Structures are given as C-alpha cells and as structure tokens.
Structure 1
Amino acid sequence: MVRLVITDFATKEDSEFFYIRDEFDVSQNMFTYHSFKKYSVYLSKYTNDDIYSLNLLSRKYLDKNQFLIHIADGEYVILFNHKTVYSAKINQNFITDDMIKSILITKHIAMLSSGGSIDSIYYVINSKFKHAIENILKQNTKNEKQEVVAKSLGEIEELVKPLKPLDTSKTHFSKLFYLSTLTIASLWLVFIGLEKFTSKVFYTEPMENLTKEIEIEKQLAKRQQISLNNNEKKYKDLTDCISVSGEIK
C-alpha cells in the first residue's frame, strides 16, 4: 500500500507525536534525498507500506504558492509552497465534523495567503472513505461565486511513480553499496576488463618478435644462397675437370 507522509517536521518528537499512535511502538527514521536536501520522518518500525514524501510530491506537481491538501485515514494535512502549514488528526467516528473544521481552517489560510480570493486548492485523498471525503471537500470549498475550487491532483498510485520511496538507514546503505559496486564494476569493465578481453580474443603478436623472425629468416635464406652458390661452383669446377680430361684422351 502507498502512503504519503510529512517530511518537514521541525523535530523528531513532532514527527513521532503525529504518526506514532501507540506510545510503546518503536519508531524508525525513514528518509530520502532531493537536490542534496534530506527529507525524513519517524514512523512505526513495523510498517509495511511504500512510503513517499508528501512535500516532494507537492514539489513535483505544483508550482510555488499553491495549496495541496492530503487526506488519509485519520490525517488532514495542508501544504503551501511545498511546506506543511497545518496538520490535524481526523476522528474516524466524527469524520464529517472534523473534516468541515479542517476545511474552514484551509479556506482561512488560503484567503490570508492569496489576499482574499481562492482560485484553486489541489487535493490527494488516500482513504477507504475517499468518495465521501471528496464530496464533503468539494461541497465546502466553494468561492464567492459558488464555484468549487478543490481540484484532484490525481490518483496516488500514479502520482508517486516518478518519486523515490523513503528508505531506512539499512536499505539506504544497502542501495549505496549495490550502486557503488555496480559503478566500480562498470568502470573496471570499461577501462581494464574490456581491454584484457579484446587483447585475448584479438591477440596480435608484437612487431618486435615479428621483426626478429623476419631477420632470422633473411639470414637463413642468405646462408642457403651462399651454400647453394658454393655447391654450384664446386659442381662447375668438377664438370670442367671431367671435360678437360676427356679432351686430353
């Protein structure tokens, strides 16, 4: 399951107070980096969700000075300019009352920030009561012209695809080790391994050895030529002697 969380809490205690429901639950730090800045949160150690930063999602899809509301089971968060400006718990037994109260606060913050008029407020809902919550939100976020200003940013599963999930220290360093190993192996293959491989497959004998072999063959050929010339001379002398002896007789 996908989950969006606030990653700009001022302190660890604030993060744990908002997300750790059981006072005896063990928390763990989950984080990611974006543009050399760390985004982190403290969540239950036993969560099995895929965790993503709500602040980075806002930064990914919205321009500056825009509002984003995130509503999950038991949570209502307002972001302005990618920063958390309001967060509250929603009582599941009084969803309508708590929602309307938070929506009124949203409209008040939006009007103060925009100078009195509200053009649009984007929202992401991740709750089993999504349709009911969406209906309450739209009915209570109308401007002075009675136009609904609440606009869906999209489905959460699609929105998080370009984002990096948050990691624990263990998974983070495991990924770093894997990436470092892969990078070193790739560099070794490019600069050393490939050269060794090609030298074995496409081996060419050094020119010095070939030159020496050619010189030796030339010397052997020269010696053979000298030997041949000597033998021819001896043969000629011998045949000349035989011819002279025959003439004398």
Structure 2
Amino acid sequence: MAGSVWPSIPFIALRGAQVFFAIIVLGLSGYVGDQLGDYWSPWFSLVTAIFTLIGSGGLIAAFFLAPAFTAPLITLGIDAFLWLFWLISLAGFADQASPVLNIGSCDYFIASNICGSIKGNMAMIVFEFLLFLATLGFSGWLFYRERTSKGGAAGANPEGGHASAGAIAGAPPVATTLGTYPIQQQQPPVFNQPPVDNAPTPVPFPQEGQYQYPPQSPPPQQYTQSPPPQQYTQSPPPQGYPEMPVPAGPQGYQQPYQQQQ
C-alpha cells in the first residue's frame, strides 16, 4: 500500500487474526465471568478484547484510508499497550482458573460446560499474547530501520538531511571527490582615496590651579574734564543820579527822593 511501510499481506493477516481471536475471547470471557461470579480475570480479559478490537481494527482501517496513521511509531505504541494487557490477562486467568480445572471441579460443573469454556478462553488468550508479541517485534524492527535510515541520510548530507537546491530543481548530480581544498579569500576592492583621519582633535584640559578666564573688555576711556567757567568780574553799580527836588505837598511836607538800590 502506497504511503505505508508495512507489507500488505503480513499486516492484514496479523491484524485480522488479532481481531478474530479478540471476538472469541470477548464471548468466552463474558460467559466464564458470569458463571464464576467473583473472579476478576474474566472481566479483565473482556476489557482487553474490547481494546484489541478498537486498536487492531483501527489500524486495518487506517491502512486503507489513512496510511500515515500506520507509521512504525504509532503501531509500536499500540502493540506495546495491548501486549501488556494480554500478558496481565494471561497471568490472572491462569492463576484463578487453575483451581477450577481440577478433576473434582470439572465433574461438579459438568452440566454447565464451564471447564471447556475456561480452557478455550485460555487458549485464545495465549494466541492473542503471541500475536501481539510478533507484531510488537515487527513494529520495533521497522521503527529502528526507519530511524537508522533517516540518521544515515542526514549524516551523508552536509546540510543536515535537507535536500540541496539542485536536487529539488531536478539538476543532475555532480560527482565529487573526497579531499580538502584551501579556502580562497576574496580580496575587497581597493579605491585610491586619501586617508581620512576620523580621530577627534584632542582638546587640552587646563591644569589644576590654572583656570583660564575669558578675555575681559578694555576699561572705559578717561575723558578730560572741561575747565570750569570763567568768573566774570562784577561791574560796579551804576552811579547815582542827582536828586531832583520834590515839590511841596499840600501840607507843606517835602519827601526827598531816594534812589532805589
């Protein structure tokens, strides 16, 4: 079947046998459990048969409908789980059915055919145990082969298991020989440009105790004081004018004229 790593005939034959014997165990375990009553092993075998119908039947359906679900990792997990359940069923049923299978008990239950049902159910459980042991080993071998093949392909490809661009594009493979080749370093192009000094210009810092003050503006010019104004000599008072006679008033009093100062 395309998309599955399992061979068609062995896969269908083994899974079909598991489903067939699971149906028989399902019926016998129900009958034995109903007759024995308190024993747990028949009911555990019944549950294991139901799980087998789901697991093996699902793998058969996936083989035709979705082959991706029949990958070795998935089948390995299912086979390991069911094989463990059949191992417990075999051990429990053998332990609890052994007292019933002696001669006296079989003679007592001769009318109910319980001994034949116990023996038949025991045989079907052994067959299921061997079938799942076979599929478990086959699944483990396929899983190991798949992992080793992927690891070898990843180791042969220097790109870690991914296909190269030429292989994807369909280019023919190029024969290569083993050997070491020196790696040629590509020189960068050189242009005739003057060297540019990008280093910053160092700025001297003032020494301790010598602080440089900014230049001060020159002092204001001194203007010459203008000479005080000349003192003018006081002119002499005007000369007095001669007194004029004042006519006599009606009372006969004469007031002399005084010159105003």
Normalised-by-shorter TM-score class: under 0.3
With structure 1 as the length reference, what TM-score do the two structures score?
Answer: 0.23
With structure 2 as the length reference, what TM-score do the two structures score?
Answer: 0.22
